[in-house]
Amino acid sequence: MLGRTATEEELFAELAFCLLTPQSSAHRCDEAVVGLRASGLLFGGSSSQIAAHLRRRVRFHNHKARYLVEARRLFSRGGGIDVRSSLAGLGPLEARGWLVEHVEGLGLKEATHFLRNIGRSGDLAILDRHILRNLVAQGALPRIPRSLTPRRYASVERRFQAFAAAVGIPPAELDLLFWSDATGEVFK
């Protein structure tokens, strides 16, 4: 997990990772971001150059390349990247809302994932299929919803928070525990 000492470039690379993960392997996305950084494409490549790098690594590489370029543009200030100032003074819920509203391609789950990975998620939940399955298995949720509209996401998140409080595990830690239980590993 990145913390207060993370550089702006590290924060943006983490945001890039979270933009790439929907419907793609987390490991492949992490490898893709490492490669983008090493090649200089993450901070200087065009959408088509990034898409070429992402091809065969992540699904929807053309869209995600465009999202990365737009996010880079959004956070560019004074010749560099500045993610922190956009989130300064915002609590977890407000920061997530700001990210979802301003970063194209970033939904509630991915925005929460980013905030968790930089140590700013508070009690928010990354409601992916692993977490939802565990909530059903633990009786905290009757069934996995067919879709997660913003309203439904908030409702399931409240159930997750209540369950976390009942078992005495902070939500960010319970989220990671459920994910690692489902996947057999601890990874981002």
Regions of the chain with pLDDT less than 70: 1-3, 188
pLDDT digits (tens, 9 = 90+) for 166-176: 999 998 889 88
Contact 58, 22 (CB under 8 A): no
- Record the pTM: 0.91
Sketch out the chain's domains with CATH numbers: 8-117 (1.10.340.30), 129-183 (no CATH)
- Burial readout 111-135 (b: 16 or more C-beta within 10 A, e: otherwise): bbbbbbbbebbbebbbbbebbbebb
Q: Which residues are catalytic?
A: 109, 128
Q: Decide: 150 and 104 in contact? Cβ < 8 Å.
A: no
What per-residue confidence (pLDDT) applies to 17? 97
| pLDDT of amino acid 79 | 86
Q: What is the pLDDT of residue 3?
A: 67
- The dihedral sign for the CA sequence 90, 129, 67, 82: positive
pLDDT reported for residue 188: 66
Alpha helices in the chain (DSSP H): 8-20, 26-39, 41-44, 47-54, 61-75, 84-87, 92-102, 108-117, 129-137, 150-167, 171-183
Per-residue model confidence as pLDDT tens digits over 15-58: 999 999 998 888 999 999 999 999 999 999 999 999 999 998 99
